[in-house]
Amino acid sequence: MHETEQVLEKAHSIASKSRTSHGLIKRVFNPATPSRKIHSQLDNCITDVSWLLRVSATRRHDGGEGGDSDDDDDVGLGLPPIAANEPILGLIWEAVAKLQNGSLEKRTSAASELVSLASDNDRNWKLIIEEGGVGPLLKLNAVKAILLLARDSESVEKLVQAGVCSIFAKVLKEGPMKVQASVANAVAELVDKYLPCQDEFAQHNVVRLLVAHLAFETLEEHSNNKNQMHNTTQSHHGGDAAAVHPAGNGHLSHQQHPQGSSSGASLKGRESEDPETKAAMKAMAAKALALLARGHPNICKNITDSRALLCFASLLEKGPDDVRYNSAIALKEIARVAEDDADLRRSAFNPSSPAAKAVVDQLLRVIEEGDSDRLLLPCITAIGCLSRTFGRRRRGSLAPWEAVIALTKFACTENYLHMDHSRAIINAQAAKPLVQLVYLGEPPSIRKEALVLLCYIVRHVPESEALTDNDDVISALRWASKNIFTEEEEEVEKLLTEAKGRLELYQSRDPRGFR
């Protein structure tokens, strides 16, 4: 419209030069080139405005209820002259106009068009955001399209400003379970790209709603209290994330109000969902909670004050693979925060707490069984972060044995990613404690296990400065070759010899020589 105004001003200027103040013709002939140019520009402006009017009048051409007399009037409109240099703009404008003014069928079709455009290249999704496509997509709950637009922190920030948090909260409270699972996944994706939106989601009660989905049919007690969804999905409209208290802590905010989504009919509908949908919902809820909890003490407090810890422990024990993994990741994120937050550590992981005991028991079980490489690392990390929360008696069960055996599964040659895992272990400063275990590990049987892990790491990444610059590592290997009876196990003896030789070779290449 700005360009149209400029063209009209130019046309008015040329016309004014041809007349006197009394309306008489002052000049019969005008220069031909400017006149033709203005005439062409006026034609283009008329075409542009006509196109915009037709596109924006979609609702008026829907033919009323069930009618389709003019339903296809906007088909084959082509591109306006204004979009000649950027044809994609015409397609985006038309789709956005349908989203704003079209029938449900047209809005759904327009959302699909924007999904297709956003999938093509990065420039398209930026144009969709710049041209006002976010708001209408949010109103339509087009989760797939919203995810495609959330490519980086800047675009996620714009989505948050457009109201994505409140829309997602409404869907998590009232939508069909399949859509709710998609929204929970979208919450995780948005938070992963833009951590500051954690507070926005918490303020819109998303944490409580996700915990409610996690608790649904998870705990045995839940079957005896079908009103739990009612308690855990009450809305909180306050502005302070720290004031949100998930159900189960006995401190519901006075600003909360019951929601109709927790009615008996709604609950019955949820119970009738197929097992795959229920599992997907729990997996995505756990994934979203893990991202929301990342580095955020207040949200971690909200989660642990609810029944979420018991849910995570139960799901880690008997849930489907994705649910178990996301539950382990969530526990890892909460444990990481608790390690540096004494208040959270005392309140959530008190040794006398049944929930804390259940969590630790399940983490230890996963580590001891060691049958899932995918679960081992987050469980080991969580146990390490929680180690200082237990007294002397409990620490006895947290001996390094489980960690050594578990890490060996990552570093062994049979593991396809053994190189990456070995680097990660050594970058986590594991060399020193492994050397100590080789010398002084108790019970003595752990010494050989620690030696095997150390040998795998040395064999795979002998060039690591943490190994080549550390005299203790090569000294421990030499000592072990004389004092640990590896000859009884040919494979261990071979592994030790190879590791020692490779480390000596790399140390000899060091310009400083042997130290």
pLDDT tens, position by position, 477-506 = 888 888 766 556 778 888 888 888 888 888
Identify the burial level of 191 via C-beta atoms within 10 angstroms of its C-beta, where 0-12 means exposed, 13-18 middle and 19 or more buried: buried
Which band of pLDDT confidence, cut at 50, 70 and 90, is reported for residue 210? very high
Q: What is the pLDDT of residue 186?
A: 92
Mean pLDDT of the chain: 74
Q: What is the pLDDT of residue 225?
A: 42
The yes-or-no verdict on residue 427 having pLDDT over 70 is yes
Length of the chain: 515
C-beta of residue 371 within 8 angstroms of C-beta of residue 352? no
The rounded distance, in Å, linking the Cα atoms of 118 and 330 is 31
Closest by CA position to 286, among listed 193, 365, 218, 377 = 218
Buried b (16+ CB within 10 A) or exposed e, 397-428: ebebbbbbbbbbbbbbeebeebeebbbbbbee
Query: Torsions phi, psi of 19, nearest 5?
Result: -130, 155
Least confident span in 324-338, 340-354, 383-397: 383-397
Q: Terminal CA-to-CA distance of the chain, rounded, Å? A: 77
Tokens read off for 252: 């519901």
Higher pLDDT, 187 or 89: 187
pTM above 0.75, yes or no: no
pLDDT tens, position by position, 233-292 = 444 434 333 333 333 333 323 333 333 344 344 555 677 788 899 999 999 999 999 999
Q: What is the pLDDT of residue 311?
A: 94
Rounded mean pLDDT, 199-226: 80
Buried b (16+ CB within 10 A) or exposed e, 201-230: bbbbbbbbbbbbbbbbebbeeeeeeeebbb
How many CB atoms neighbour CB 81 within 10 A? 16
What residues does 512 pair with on adjacent strands?
none
The yes-or-no verdict on residue 110 having pLDDT over 60 is yes
Q: Which helix (H) or strand (E) holds 435?
A: helix 431-440
The rounded distance, in Å, linking the Cα atoms of 114 and 135 is 13
What residues does 235 pair with on adjacent strands?
257
Q: Which helix (H) or strand (E) holds 210?
A: helix 206-215
The rounded distance, in Å, linking the Cα atoms of 364 and 381 is 11
Which band of pLDDT confidence, cut at 50, 70 and 90, is reported for residue 471? confident
